[in-house]
Amino acid sequence: MNAHTEPFGQTEDGQEVHVYTLTNSKGFRVRVTNFGATLVSVHVPDRHGSLGDVVLGFDSLAGYLTQTAYLGSTVGRYANRIGGATFTLDDVEYPLAANNGPNHLHGGTCGFDKALWKTSEAVATEDEAWVKMTYLSLDGEEGYPGNLQCTMTYTLTNADELRLDYEAQTDKKTVVNLTNHSYWNLAGQGQGDILGHQLMINAERFTLVDQGLIPSGVIASVHGMPLDFTKPRKIGSRIGQTATGYDHNYVVSGKAGDLRFCARVCDSGTGRVMEVHTTEPGVQLYTGNFLDGSIQGKGGLAYEKHAGFCLETQHYPDSPNKSEFPPTVLEPGQTFSSRTVHKFSVQ
């Protein structure tokens, strides 16, 4: 295993940014940057052993500094949407930025995806290589209460697993929901759309939403709907029955808090397979509905609609305003912790 660090450029105010390359004994290679604690690339072999990058992104820091699509980003303080851009804790109302119509999305106008995280260590052992990053979100940042100390660790193993570990502590009661917003294409980034990928999601239910994608509070069955991926189906097989594509939160089966099977995706052309396991109660399937070719990604390739899919492991959208949902409140003295594992193979 190997962990390598190199410069990745500077922020607009002159702060140095780095990119970290983790490589295992089989040549599997992951690159992350401490700007936005962002997953830059994941090179995995196809059935013939040829490596290909399966994550949408940019060749240089410049793309990440100006992007609005959250490609590869760690998002927070609250991933996904908060309805009405406000929530209440202990009878105190906290107004947030309305950056998605009337609602709050992915932490606001300057969320964790725009933050420069500090790197505490980049280490390689015989079996694992990891990079650990920290970020202190100050009390009042983007409207949220409490100084929130966050840690994000990317770990690559010799078993071809990419592990994402999140931790957070606060000095004041707050809400937190962290996830990674990588867009995946197992055929290779920029190699067409993902509508032919076979997808299975370990979820019998999903959270019903209104036109603004804010949950009503009702948890409904996926059976008999185009959202049903309880058995492997092509992503595009029924996407035409949705409004613009999938952007739905699924209730992952099993006990939240336990690391359990969440989803499996396969590209028949390359044979690449990605399995996702998570401790989170939900996962947002998003199919790049708003990509329109205007983003020039790696190698100058344009990312058209459905050029990638996201599986954002998370708590449910608008949980701070839905007492019936799994809670996202973090108290002083408690530690928020979450783990998601991507396991790669071929068939």
Residues near 57 by Cβ (< 8 Å), separated by ≥ 6?
A: 38, 39, 40, 41, 63, 64, 71, 72, 189, 297, 298
Query: Does residue 111 carry a pLDDT above 90?
Result: yes
At 331 the pLDDT is 98
Catalytic residue among 106, 306, 312, 342: 312
Q: Are 142 and 103 in contact (CB under 8 A)?
A: no
At 121 the pLDDT is 79
Catalytic residue among 181, 197, 315, 342: 181
DSSP classification of residue 327: P
Query: Does residue 309 carry a pLDDT above 80?
Result: yes
Report the DSSP beta bridge partners of residue 154.
131, 164
238: domain CATH number? 2.70.98.10
Domain count, the chain: 1
**Which residues constitute the domain of residue 244?**
2-346
- Band (229; pLDDT cuts 50, 70, 90): very high
pLDDT in tens, 185-214: 999 999 999 999 999 999 999 999 998 999
At 188 the pLDDT is 98
The dihedral built from the CA positions of residue 90, 92, 98 and 103, taken in this order, carries a sign that is: positive
Catalytic residue status for 324? no
Q: Are 239 and 223 in contact (CB under 8 A)?
A: no
- Band (120; pLDDT cuts 50, 70, 90): confident
Percent of the chain scoring above 70 in pLDDT: 100
DSSP-assigned letters across all residues of 252-273: -SS-TTS-EEEEEEE-TTT-EE
Query: Does residue 107 carry a pLDDT above 90?
Result: yes
86-92: average pLDDT: 97
At 138 the pLDDT is 98
154-174: average pLDDT: 98
Cα–Cα dist 121/98, whole Å? 35
Cα–Cα dist 26/51, whole Å? 10
At 145 the pLDDT is 98
| Mean pLDDT across the chain | 97
Measured between alpha carbons, how far is residue 334 from residues 76, 167, 297 in Å?
18, 10, 40
Query: Does residue 339 carry a pLDDT above 80?
Result: yes
